[in-house]
A = this chain, B = another copy of it.
Amino acid sequence: MGLILYERLCGDDRRPSPYCWRARLALAHKGLKPEYRPVKFTERDRVAFSGQAKVPVLADSDRVVSDSWDIACYLEDTYPDAPSLFDGAGGRALARFISHWTDNSLQKALSPILAPYMLAAVHPDDRDYYRQTREARYGESLQHLAARRALYLEALHPVLEPLRQHLAESSFICGERPAYADYLAFAEFQWARSVCDQDILAPEDSTLRAWRHCMLDLFDGLARSVPAFDSAA
């Protein structure tokens, strides 16, 4: 038994989950090609063997690792001869900070924009589940979120400013070559690209667009190869 990545399946075979893209790209960085096993939101029992209910879950022969951060650390420690995801102990510590920034600032600003699109993108079997859980989380209907899209896009712009300024100086977040912190942030853009028919970046946001373009090209266009609504991105 080789490497298996359990990841979120949406409708039309889409794979928008940013957490699963963190794992997909970390595996590719290490030169590893897993078998992908798609899991719907309402198939939580399919990953029960991992002791929890969320994806991604990585099975590497008899080892099972859940949580995208733990998967990255597992790959770094288990495959030390492959290219490093962190480039040193300092890089690992600060990549963890950037994962918290991605979750609590970037994704928090992005998710009210994308949640209504996700409702259309999830597998038909998951639609009721998705609507109920997300409307409970936001305390209002996804339709109300969609009506405020322009406001949320405006609020996203300053949240991206640290990334914009960093990438104005450096080809990638991690320096001259991409590594795990790039995958953390890019996975959010990949989520947007997978479900949303309009670009979340303005045409003049050239620094972020150029970086995103390079990220889509990585690993023989791995992130570009999956179905997307926003084919221009």
Contacts and interface: CB of A to CB of B under 8 A. Distances in A.
A103 B93 CA distance: 20
A67 B226 CA distance: 44
A77 interface: no
A90 B94 contact: yes
A105 B98 CA distance: 13
A96 B169 contact: yes
Contacts of A93: 87, 91, 170, 173-175, 181
Nearest to A86: B90
A51 interface: no
A212 interface: no
Stoichiometry, as copies per complex, reads: 2
Nearest to A85: B90
A165 interface: yes
A89 interface: yes
A94 B162 contact: no
Interface in A4-62: none
Contacts of A92: 90, 175
A229 interface: no
Contact of A88 (B90, B105, B108, B158): B90
Interface in A62-106: 84, 86-98, 100-101, 103-105
Nearest to A91: B90
A91 B89 CA distance: 7
Contacts of A196: none
A137 to B, nearest CB: 16
Nearest to A92: B90
B105 A162 contact: yes
Interface of A: 84, 86-98, 100-101, 103-105, 108, 158-159, 161-163, 165-166, 169-170, 173-175, 179, 181
Given A100-B161, A100-B162, 7 more contacts: A87-B88, A88-B90, A90-B90, A93-B174, A97-B98, A104-B158, A104-B162
